[in-house]
Structures are given as C-alpha cells and as structure tokens.
Structure 1
Amino acid sequence: MAPPPVDVRVTRDDDGIVRVTVGGAGPDFTLAVLDVAGAVLSWSVLGDPGPPAAEIHDVGRAQQWLWAVYGERVAAAVHACATGQLAETVVPDDPTSLAADAARLGFGHWAARWWPASHLDGIPALQPDVLGLELAALTHQCQQLFDGTAGDFDGQPDACAAELIEDHRAALDPLIQWWRAASTGPAQQVERVLRLIDDAADGAGLDGPELRRLRSLLDRSSPAATTSLNPGALFARSDGYALAAGELLVTGGRLIARGSGTNDWRRYPAGLVDASENAVSWTARALGARRQFEVEVVAHSAAPTTGAPLTAEIRVNDGPRKRVALARRDDMWTGRTDLDLPPGETRPRVELGVLLPGFDPGPGPETAAERDAIRALVRRRLTAAAQPTANDALPHGSFSAPFLAEIAAATTDEDY
C-alpha cells in the first residue's frame, strides 16, 4: 500500500539553489543524507520516511530523478522556481518506489556514519562489510539518482556501487553461506542483495574468485537450505575486543574530584568512541603541589590503536579551553594534563568533551534528547531484526525492513 501524498514546499534562494522542504530539520546525526546528481537529499531518521528534503544546486542534472522521486507536480514546481516563474509554492508529492528505495539507501549511509554502537549501552556494532555490500546493492538499484558511468561519478560520493563491492568483498562468501543455509526469514533479502551485487559487478567489469563463485551459484536454481545457521556467527569479529574495567591512570596522590563529560557524536567520525553518554570520564588528583587531570574515554570496538589524533577538550571553572591528546590503551582512550586549581579546590566545575581536530562542528544546541531518541530507534530495529518475520513490530518511520547487518548484529553471540 503506497503512503499518502505529503505536501512539500519548493523555494528558490537568492543564490539560485532550489530547496524542497519537508518538515523541520534536526541535528546532523539524526539526518540520513544522500549525494545525488545535482542535489543533496536528506531524511530525518526519527520521522516518517516519506519524501526527502532536497537542496538542488543543478536543476538540469536533477531532472533525471526529480519526477521519479517526487512525482510530476513537484518536478514542475522545481522547474518553475528555477526559471523564476515562481518564488515559492506548496504542492503534494506522488509517492514512488524510487523514493522508498532512496530513503532506504539514505538510511543505510546514516547507519554507516552514525550507528551508536556501545558496549556500555548494549548496542552491538554493525559489521561494515555486510552493510557495505547491501549499500552496493541498493546503490545499483537506485542508479537513476546518479549520473555518470561506473567509477565516474564526479561529486557524488554515494554513487559508486563498484567501489563498495571492491571495498567490502570480504563479506561475499559469508553472505553466500547465509543464502545457502537460509530457508526462512531473510533468505529472499539475501538473495536479492546477491543478485544486485552480481549485476553491478558485471556492469562494472569486476572479477575475482568470490564474484565468480557467486555467479556460478546464481546461475543454478535457488539452493536448498542445508543446516540452520546463526548469521551473527558468520560475521563475528576476530579482534578479541572486550570491555575491561578501567584502572586509574595514576596510582597514589589525593583524589580531588571525578565526573563525566559530554559525548557529542558530531565531534568525531564513527568507529572511534563508544556511543554511550557515560563513555567520557575524568579524575582530578593532587600529586604534591601539582594538580593533575586524567581523562578516560571508552573506545569503540573498531577504534585504531595508532594514527588517530583523538583529543579531549577541557574547561575548568569557566577558564580557557585546553586540548589534551589521547592515546589508545586497551579498550580506552586516555590522556592527562596538569591544571591550575586554587588551593583547597574540591568541586571544580568541569566541562569535558572529546573530538577529532578538523572534524569539530563547533558549538551547537544540546542534543542529549536526540541521542536518546536515536538509541531508542536502533533498539527497536534490533528487536525487530532478531525476529525477521515480525517486521510489522517496527514503528512508523523505521525505513522499512532491517538491513542484513542489523539482523547479523541482533543475533550475535558477543557480550553486549
């Protein structure tokens, strides 16, 4: 059943950009964003996955997909605003299958960038190669959104299915095993992903033993189920990451104070820090006349051990902000610095956050409520993913059925 039409506002800025507005905006980590031909599309993952908002900078290039995503009325309104016939108008969209596929592709890219994996919060990480291959399949399915040829998508970083297949081909053989073992649940979803990957690889001229095995199997009739299989076990990590109770960086000295900091997901890329609100903590100690400030940040399970200049930003008693380099130690990012505190200070007012320099968006509104809403969303999705035949349990605004990476995460045996 197609969703009902939604009214969208179409306007033209003074700089010539045509905007299609649907509802309100939110923090960037609540937005699924997709770079397409001539425009950027976005959806709120916390809202109804209806038509996307759009910022169209090249209406000519966008004409190839505008009508197919929004319908003829919105496409005509965009053209009228672009040519100066209208300054602003409100028209209903015409829901389409490409709009639904684009929303799902956008949500997949959101999951790759913002999924709040956390040992502390019990939210498992998504296996990147599984997600990457499903994104490759969806990208191929949504080729009308992009212009260019295979491997040539200037200014469209989300467009190249072939590159995704090459980057994530390590999951091809496990996906084939999943397909051959599955008799119920996501079997059709796995097969659809594999057939789209095969078609995309063939069109891009990709080759390799995994792709040849895939084609050979797809050329036969659908394989009969062999044995039951836990998809989480197929993609389990082998890095041995386990959350340990962190020890204080310094032994001895007198404890002055301790507390927690702010874990703002916007200030570092995915895969560096555990997404929990409680992942960032600090301790102030007196070591003789010195006052030392220690920082501990729970690392993401995929965090690199070297090469990432993760930094803590500290402000004490409304003083200047100071940045301290952090180093990966086991399952923690740690760092320390000397601070000037008044003699006898026992309750310093501390602001502490963690960031990757150059990735910092600067000050913004408080977003703790939106982070909680994101955690609630992914928990609902994981609950539904653990019961693939019960997808109706997903709330309105869930961007359709779980991704394969969500199903694998929901059935993992790892300790979360």
Structure 2
Amino acid sequence: MKLDIESGLWSSGRLTEPAPLVAVLEVSGAVLSWVVDASDPPVITFTDHLRADWLWRVVGEEGHVAVVEALRDAADGPARGVDLPGVAVLPGSTDTLRRLAFGHWLRRWWPASDRDGIAALDRAVLDAELAVSTVAAEDFFTDDTLDSDVDALLAPHASALNLLSTQGDPRVVALVDRCRELAEDIGVGWDGAEPARHRSDYALAAGAADGSRSATAIARGVSTVSWTAVPPGIFDAAEQTVDWTVVPAGSSVNCLVQVALCGPDHPAGIAAAVRCEDYRGTGVLDADGHAALRMHGADGGELPESRAWNLDWSAAEVAIGATGAGEPQHVRDRVRAFARNRLAAVSDSRLAAVSSEAYLAEVLAAESDY
C-alpha cells in the first residue's frame, strides 16, 4: 500500500471517475470509495486515522500498526508519499462495506427511467435493508457519520413499510419485522408514523405553468437533465427529457419548460434556466415539472416578440438544477448499461453470486420486468 496526501488527507489512491460511477461510504475516521462497475479494492481516504479503529479488520493487525506509525512519523516531516510494503487490503475484508456503499449509490444514482425501461427501486425497501445492514456493520461506525444515520433511513418509511408488509411477500414481511424491532431499539416511532408525502400528493395543488401551452410556438427543442445538478428520486434519467417551447406572452415571450418525472419526490422549487444569445430566463419548476421562464436581455428588459422570431434558437441552452454541475453523456450511458446488466444478473438464477448480495429492492425491480 502507498499513501499520498492531498488537501491535507492521506489516501491509498485516487479515483478519477466522476461521481455517478463511484460508490462511497463514510465510516469512522475514513471514507472508502469503489468504482461501481469495477472489482478493485477500495480507495481509503483517512479523515482521522486515529479514529479508524476498525482498520485491523481490513489490513490486518500488523498492517494497522504500520499505517498508524507511518502517518505519525510523516506528521513530523515534509508531506510526501509513504510506502508500506506488505500492507494491503485483505481479500474479502471489505465486502460488507462495499455492499453498504453500493446501497447508498443505489439511493443516489440508480438511473430509473420510464423512457429507457429501467425499473425504479422501492425506496422504502432499499432504505429498510440499508438500515439493517448498517446496524450489522456497527463496528465500523463507532463515530457518527453521514452514512451511519439509521434513524434517517427508517423514520420516513414506517407507514409505507407497514403497508408493504400486508401484501404477502415473505421477504418483505421478514425485512419489515426486523425494522420494527430495530425501530423499537433505537427509539424511532413506528406504528403511529405519518405517511411520507410524495409527488402525487402535490399534483392537485400545483397550478399550471404561467403561459399558454397551446400558443403559437416561436421555437422548440429538447435538453437533458444533468444528474449531478439535481436531487435523486425525481427526474426520468433518460436523455432528452426536457422539452422546451418559446411562445408569445403579450409583447414579450416565455420559454415553457416541461421535464419528465420518474420518482416519488416532487421537483417544486428546483431551478430552471434558459439562455439564447444575450437573452436569459430563470425560474423554478412546479410540482409537475413545469416552468414558464420570462426572457430578458442583458439590460434587464424583456425580449420583444418581434426580436424573438429572428433569434437562432438552435443554440439555446436549457439547464435544470444547480448551475455549473454536469457530467458527460458517456458517463450516464455507462451507468445505464451497468444498471441494465445488474438487473439482468439479479434475475438470472445461474449468477448466484450476484443474486446473493443484491438488495431486495433490486430483486423486486428485476421481477417487475417480467
């Protein structure tokens, strides 16, 4: 093992893959990272190596001592790489942690899409199994971390899990029974839990986007949602799911945006923006994924309809979510290919190794395809 320091943190390597391809798990004193479609050992980045009292389980007792002593000595000298010959991640020692990291990856990056035919994962079932698995790995969470919060995994889903347990699937019933016991142990309210609100709860209250969608179109086009720019569980993960149309609105124009949805959460309040030449429009989506963006010039004045007819709208850019975020299309394509292969492997009884470590939410999604 070789440790290098970057931004003040010692690490066993460096991953160059973008976020949608990396499964990450924060344990006590360190963050472990894996590329989801590769089989390499984790990259270990120490946030506080003295708090990583689980390290002997991963590199052996002698390896643990070697890491602590090497980083202690390195603290007294100039920052440089540290070679630790004979220290390596023991085979199989991080399998449980990798599965946990992968479960959190499923929550954030699973590319559910009605258009692409990639089944969504039941969030309540996934979070329930993650909660149980996190408790089983408690030796790695002697400190509170972002990924050790079992309460946050269970509390939003008690009502949904109770309902699912009445549908007769023995696998779900067993999982819910375990979660009910766990909730009692950690003090999470269960039987009187209020159901979590989902996108459908907001649909009737959401008004139509300002502007007539039947108006004469000055221009129209499509765009794609960048996954790293938006929260999970809202948008269809396919390409070109953003439809936009420029229409007259009085003496000015609006850009009407509609984004395809595929998830339990609602998009209300997520930013939407359009730019064409020197003109821009900004606003937020409503609960149905619609927005009406009034177009303005650099001087703040509205874009006149007469001028709008003469703009080259083929160069227009429409963005959803945080500005400056994004990933190349080939990354999204790679994640979709991985997801399809994963579902196929989970449903193939000949691939017992994949099926045995799959999450129940994956199994249910694979079964729903048949």
Bin the TM-score by the shorter chain.
0.7 to 0.9
1:165–1:9: structure 2 CA closer, same or farther, 3 Å change rule?
same
Contact 1:65 1:144 in 2 (8 A): yes
- Matched residue, 1:221: none
- Matched residue, 1:145: 140
**Partner Cα separation in structure 2 for residue 204 and residue 393 of structure 1:** 32
Contact 2:246 2:254 in 1 (8 A): yes
1:87 equivalenced with 2:89 (yes/no): no
**Partner Cα separation in structure 1 for residue 152 and residue 312 of structure 2:** 55
Contact 1:77 1:89 in 2 (8 A): no
- Matched residue, 1:384: 345
Question: How far 1:10 moved relative to its partner?
Answer: 1.3
Q: Structure 1: where are the runs of 5+ without partners?
A: 1-7, 211-236
Q: Identify which of 323, 326, 333 aligns with 2:285.
A: 326
- Matched residue, 1:11: 4
Contact 2:272 2:291 in 1 (8 A): no
Misfit runs of 4+, over 4 Å: 171-178, 193-203, 205-210, 237-242, 246-249, 286-289
Question: How far 1:313 moved relative to its partner?
Answer: 1.9
Which amino acid counterpart does residue 57 of structure 2 have in structure 1? A
1:343–1:94: structure 2 CA closer, same or farther, 3 Å change rule?
closer
Which amino acid counterpart does residue 87 of structure 1 have in structure 2? G
1:29 equivalenced with 2:20 (yes/no): yes
Contact 2:67 2:84 in 1 (8 A): no
Give the TM-score of the pair, scaled to structure 1.
0.70
Residues 80-112 of structure 1 deviation map (CA, whole Å, 9 limit, x = unaligned):
442134732265524354410000000101111
- Matched residue, 1:213: none
Question: How far 1:334 moved relative to its partner?
Answer: 3.1
- Matched residue, 1:406: 362
Contact 1:30 1:45 in 2 (8 A): yes
Question: How far 1:404 moved relative to its partner?
Answer: 0.3
Q: Identify which of 38, 47, 57 aligns with 1:68.
A: 57
5 Å-filtered alignment, 1:43-58, equals 43-48=34-39, 50-58=40-48
1:52–1:304: structure 2 CA closer, same or farther, 3 Å change rule?
same
> Number of residue pairs matched?
346
1:241–1:407: structure 2 CA closer, same or farther, 3 Å change rule?
farther
Contact 1:27 1:367 in 2 (8 A): no
Q: Percent identity?
A: 29
Question: How far 1:354 moved relative to its partner?
Answer: 0.2
Residues 290-317 of structure 1 deviation map (CA, whole Å, 9 limit, x = unaligned):
3332211112331327xx3112121212
**Partner Cα separation in structure 2 for residue 349 and residue 99 of structure 1:** 48
1:204 equivalenced with 2:182 (yes/no): no
What's the secondary structure of 1:284's corresponding residue? strand
What's the secondary structure of 2:319's corresponding residue? strand
Q: Structure 2: where are the runs of 5+ without partners?
A: 75-79, 193-197, 297-302
Question: How far 1:146 moved relative to its partner?
Answer: 0.8
Contact 1:294 1:335 in 2 (8 A): yes
5 Å-filtered alignment, 1:103-118, equals 103-118=98-113
